[in-house]
Structure 1
Amino acid sequence: MSTELRSHLDAFIAAADDGSFSAAARRLGLTPAAVSKSVAQFEARLGVRLFQRSTRRLALTTDGERLYGQVRLPWAEIGDALTDLRQGAGKPAGT
């Protein structure tokens, strides 16, 4: 999986979790504009709208809800597995 696709998924999931690009940006250490741009690029790549945007609200579309439901848990588990791997790297193991 490309780094670009990973960053798009991170931005999409964080925005869906938090309900805003600003909150997602704080969590990811990015600017709100960078998160918004990443999500827009992801939508363009997929050819579907994932969020309904207004000046006051960010809400998942039906397609966005479906994708979020399918990727949220596996994506978190992959992140946890990679974190565990990194934390154990270089530590002695065995007898």
Structure 2
Amino acid sequence: MKSVESANRSTDPFGSTSVHKELPRLAEHEATTLMVIWNVASGPCKKWKKVDMHLHQFNITHNKGEEIFGEKVVIFYEKKFGLCPYYKDYKSNQPVNGGLPQ
């Protein structure tokens, strides 16, 4: 007969073994209230190391090709703003393109 611990032991997709307890399932509407956004350049991992994060399988929002700059997720970096208004070097007396809109 298996012990409770060995019965609940499983191997995840990465080959790690863990002991877990069964959690109650959420109702369909409860399971979709959390939005996860992925802004990691994991595309090269898939291309060069054959590591697929399967983001679409978990409904994780990500850019095409899992690139860091894309059509769904954008982070504004001071040196790469383009025409967006901002303040140079975070100084309020040096607005660029009108400074940040209020």
- Regarding TM over 0.5, the answer is no
Larger radius of gyration: 2
Higher strand share: 2
* Higher RCO structure (Cα 8 Å, ≥6 apart): 1
Q: TM-score, structure 1 length as denominator?
A: 0.26
